[in-house]
Amino acid sequence: MNIKIEGDALIVRVPLDALATATELCPALDDLAFDDYGKPREIKVTDHKVWAGEVLCELTAEREDGTNLLDRAFDRAIRNAVDAGARGISITGII
């Protein structure tokens, strides 16, 4: 994954190979890693472009309040940056 500022935009670039690797090693899939008999299951992305499209749909799927996973990730990152004392922001009476 590569995240950088390019001109006046924050660019997030995820190569499809990196997404496949992240999927295959994803801790959120640990509960699916073994069958009912304890035999390991292989988690393998078989079509990188199709899988990327599916993940994109989930990233941009809106909840009832109009937000999506990316909105919530940015909200969390913004709060973490503020809590860490990041520069470039002013909050009246606080920082």
**89 in any annotated domain:** no
Total count of domains within the chain? 1
- Token pair of 21, please? 């690797």
pLDDT exceeds 90 at position 47 = yes
Domain of 69 in residue numbering reads as 2-83
pLDDT band at 79 (very low <50, low <70, confident <90, very high): very high
**44 in any annotated domain:** yes
Other C-beta atoms lying within 10 Å of the C-beta of residue 45:
18
Determine the Cα–Cα distance for residues 76 and 63; give it in Å rounded to an integer. 17
pLDDT attached to residue 25? 96
**88 in any annotated domain:** no
Q: What is the pTM of this model?
A: 0.81
**26 in any annotated domain:** yes
Determine the Cα–Cα distance for residues 67 and 89; give it in Å rounded to an integer. 23
**66 in any annotated domain:** yes
**93 in any annotated domain:** no
**15 in any annotated domain:** yes
Please, what is the average pLDDT of the chain? 95
